[in-house]
């Protein structure tokens, strides 16, 4: 099959797990596990669940990284510690910062209580304008959005409706297959 548009490569919205904004972290983890158990022809399994409001509209997503971030509320206060490397500050400085703020001292203590108490609406990632791509868009446009974001996935739209997810992993597989097909 020739892949030319986002629609050709997206994962239909029906294949994704969706949890309510009111769901707990525990419920989101279970939903992700269930969708990962389903057989698929895709190279990679899902790494996120969608978050839907009471009307069934997608309002966010919770990724595996969001689950880990939820274990330590102080991560929210750090903002862009990852940006420190761009300013020449190395891992030793980051270790000092995290130690001073007592980050991750005991993230796994009381994990069951945390998972039952944390609401998805408080940890979900709400998509920004640059995370939507029309299903008719070409792969070049989608790659630009993924790279410039940078994003792990894009929400695919048909008009105002979200109809699928374009995952970085699937775009990578497509690009790598095209590279391997090049006569060298």
Q: What pTM, to 2 d.p., does this model score?
A: 0.80
Cα→Cα distances 66→60, 69, 168, Å: 11, 5, 17
The sign of the dihedral angle between the CA atoms of 115, 149, 58, 39 is: negative
What tens digit of pLDDT does each residue of 110-154 get?
777 878 889 999 999 999 989 999 999 999 999 999 999 889 999
Instruction: Quote the CA–CA distance of 127 and 155 in Å, as a whole number.
Output: 8
Task: Give 98's pLDDT tier (boundaries 50, 70, 90).
Answer: low
What tens digit of pLDDT does each residue of 16-62 get?
999 999 999 999 999 999 999 998 888 889 999 999 999 999 999 99
Quick one: average pLDDT of 167-173? 95
Task: Give 168's pLDDT tier (boundaries 50, 70, 90).
Answer: very high
Do 156 and 14 touch, CB atoms closer than 8 A?
A: no
CATH of domain 6-71+108-180: 3.10.580.10
Nearest to 171 by CA among 2, 3, 1, 52: 3
Q: Is 40 left (phi over 0), alpha (psi -120 to 50) or beta?
A: beta
Task: Give 73's pLDDT tier (boundaries 50, 70, 90).
Answer: low
Nearest to 67 by CA among 16, 25, 98: 25
Say how many C-beta atoms besides its own lie within 10 A of residue 4's C-beta.
11
Q: Where are the domains of the chain?
A: 6-71+108-180, 72-107
Do 50 and 11 touch, CB atoms closer than 8 A?
A: no
């Amino acid at each position: 099959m020739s892949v030319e548009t986002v629609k050709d490569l997206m994962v239909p919205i029906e294949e994704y797990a969706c949890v309510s904004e009111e769901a707990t972290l525990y419920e989101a983890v279970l939903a992700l596990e269930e969708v990962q158990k389903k057989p698929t022809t895709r190279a990679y399994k899902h790494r996120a669940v969608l978050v839907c409001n009471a009307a069934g509209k997608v309002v966010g997503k919770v990724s595996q990284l969001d689950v880990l971030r939820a274990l330590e509320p102080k991560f929210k206060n750090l903002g862009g510690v990852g940006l420190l490397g761009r300013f020449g500050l190395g891992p030793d400085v980051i270790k000092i910062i995290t130690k001073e703020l007592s980050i991750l001292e005991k993230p796994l203590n009381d994990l069951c209580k945390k998972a039952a108490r944390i609401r998805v609406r408080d940890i979900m990632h709400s998509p920004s304008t640059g995370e939507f791509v029309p299903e008719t868009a070409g792969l070049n446009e989608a790659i630009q959005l993924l790279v410039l974001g940078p994003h792990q996935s894009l929400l695919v739209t048909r008009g105002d409706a979200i109809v699928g997810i374009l995952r970085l992993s699937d775009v990578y597989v497509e690009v790598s297959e095209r590279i391997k097909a090049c006569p060298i």
